[in-house]
Amino acid sequence: MKMIIIHRGGGRKAISCIKLWTKIGIGKPLVLLLACVISVMFIVTGCGGSDGGGQSTKSGEKAQSGEADVKGDPFASIASAEIADTETGFSEMSRLIKELKQAVEADQTEEAKKLAEQMAGIWNAIKGEIEAFNASKHQLLQEDLGQLIEETKASKWNKELLIQLDYKLYQSFRDMKQELLG
């Protein structure tokens, strides 16, 4: 049995053991299993390399990944709203979208932020049903709503973008309501 194992430094002992076991006759299935386990270990540990960053790097990575989670899901820290059913959720979302447009046009930043947070709570309550119904539309709504929420939190508003996102969300929720609820 011939095997080629590509490794990066420090793997000679493992390869020597595999060659020895094949000479002794432990068996091909066991040798293949061992080779797979070693390969997975190298992949998982990053081929045995380390950046030497130690503990401070790991805590820095955790902080960065926490920030990425918040940026990736602006709804993570917002509790789900209590709604009677999905149809009520869609109606509330449409109402809030209209009110948000009016708040943006009137430069009512605090009101807009409050409305955006309420929209996120409703989204958290209905997103499971939307995702189960149509995962691709769920993803589009999630992205558009996330962008709208982030734009309302910005220190300087791009009113044109906010109004475009608001209108796009209004149409998307209206279409999704018709598809989902008939």
3-class DSSP string for the chain: CCCCCCCCCCCHHHHHHHHHHHHHCCCHHHHHHHHHHHHHHHHHCCCCCCCCCHHHHHHHHHHHHHHHHHHHCCCCCCCCCCCCCHHHHHHHHHHHHHHHHHHHHCCCHHHHHHHHHHHHHHHHHHHHHHHHHCHHHHHHHHHHHHHHHHHHHCCCCCHHHHHHHHHHHHHHHHHHHHHHHC
* pLDDT tier for residue 145 given thresholds of 50, 70 and 90: very high
Indicate the pLDDT class of residue 118, thresholds 50, 70 and 90: very high
Instruction: State the pTM of this model.
Output: 0.58
Predicted confidence (pLDDT) per residue in 65-111, tens digit: 344 344 556 677 788 888 888 889 999 999 999 999 999 999 999 99
30: pLDDT strictly greater than 70: no
Flag whether pLDDT at 55 surpasses 50: no
Residue 11: pLDDT band (50, 70, 90) is low
Average pLDDT over residues 172-182: 86
Of 42-46, 89-93, 121-125, least confident by mean pLDDT is: 42-46
pLDDT tens digits, 59-77:
344 334 344 344 556 677 7
Q: What is the pLDDT of residue 52?
A: 44
Query: Which pLDDT belongs to residue 78?
Result: 80
